[in-house]
C-alpha cells in the first residue's frame, strides 16, 4: 500500500520518526547517567530533549495518521497500525508526564519521572517493532511495484517502471 503522505516521492512518516525516537531515547540515557553519576547537566539536557521529542512525535504522528486512515478496514495492517499508534500516544503521554514532574530540568531525587521514561522507552521499542511489521511484512508505505531497479522517487515515474524481465519470469525449481 503506497503512502498517502509523501515528500519528494517518499513517505513522510518514516522520515520523521527518527527524531522523536532519538530524542526520547537519548533523554532516557542521559537521565540514567545522571541517576548513576549525578550529572545535573545531562539531566537538564534530557529535560529539553524530552520537550523536543514530544513536539517531534506530534509532528510525525500527522503523516502517520494520514497513512493509517488509508489502510483498508478489516485488514491485519489496520489493526497493527492501531496498536502502533496507541502505543506511540502512550509513549508521548508518559514522557510528557515525566517532563511535567521535573523541576528546573532535573529530578530532585524523585524517581517517578525516570520510571515513566523507562516504561515509555520499553513501549516505544515494541511500537517500533509494530512499525517495522507494517512496512517490512505488510508493505504499508511501499510503492506499488517497487523493485531493486526502480527509478528515483524524484523522477515522477512509477516504481514499477523498468521491471527486469527476470522479475516476472516464473521461478523454476529442480
Q: What is the pTM of this model?
A: 0.86
Using DSSP's 3-state secondary structure scheme, residue 147 falls into coil
Tell me if 5 sits within 8 A of 63, measured CB to CB: yes
Residue 85 has pLDDT above 80, yes or no: yes
Q: C-alpha grid cell for residue 135?
A: 512496512
d(CA 83, CA 163): 35
- Residue ranges per domain, the chain? 6-142
For residue 65, is pLDDT > 80?
Answer: yes
**pLDDT for the residue numbered 171:** 53
Q: What is the pLDDT of residue 172?
A: 53
Residue 174: its pLDDT value, please?
Answer: 54
How many whole angstroms from its chain centre is CA 7?
A: 17
Per-residue buried b or exposed e for 3-27, using 16+ beta carbons within 10 Å of the residue's own CB: bebbeeeebbbbebbebbbebbbbb
Average pLDDT over residues 9-33: 94
Q: How would residue 6 be classed by pLDDT, with cut points 50, 70 and 90? A: confident
Q: Regarding predicted confidence, which is higher, 80 or 108?
A: 80
Cβ distance 31 to 117 under 8 Å? yes
Average model confidence (pLDDT) across the chain: 89
Amino acid at each position: 500500500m503506497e503512502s498517502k503522505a509523501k515528500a519528494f516521492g517518499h513517505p513522510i512518516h518514516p522520515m520523521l520518526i527518527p527524531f522523536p525516537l532519538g530524542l526520547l531515547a537519548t533523554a532516557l540515557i542521559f537521565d540514567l547517567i545522571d541517576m548513576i553519576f549525578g550529572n545535573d547537566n545531562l539531566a537538564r539536557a534530557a529535560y529539553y530533549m524530552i520537550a523536543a521529542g514530544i513536539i517531534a512525535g506530534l509532528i510525525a504522528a500527522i503523516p502517520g495518521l494520514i497513512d493509517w486512515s488509508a489502510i483498508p478496514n478489516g485488514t491485519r495492517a489496520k489493526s497493527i497500525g492501531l496498536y502502533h499508534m496507541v502505543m506511540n500516544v502512550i509513549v508521548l503521554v508518559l514522557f510528557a508526564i515525566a517532563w511535567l514532574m521535573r523541576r528546573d530540568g532535573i529530578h530532585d531525587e524523585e524517581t517517578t519521572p525516570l520510571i515513566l521514561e523507562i516504561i515509555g522507552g520499553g513501549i516505544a521499542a515494541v511500537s517500533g517493532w509494530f512499525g517495522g511489521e507494517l512496512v517490512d511484512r505488510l508493505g504499508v508505505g511501499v510503492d506499488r511495484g517497487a523493485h531493486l531497479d526502480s527509478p528515483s522517487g524524484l523522477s515522477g515515474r512509477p516504481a514499477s517502471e523498468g521491471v527486469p524481465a527476470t522479475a516476472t519470469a516464473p521461478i523454476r525449481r529442480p
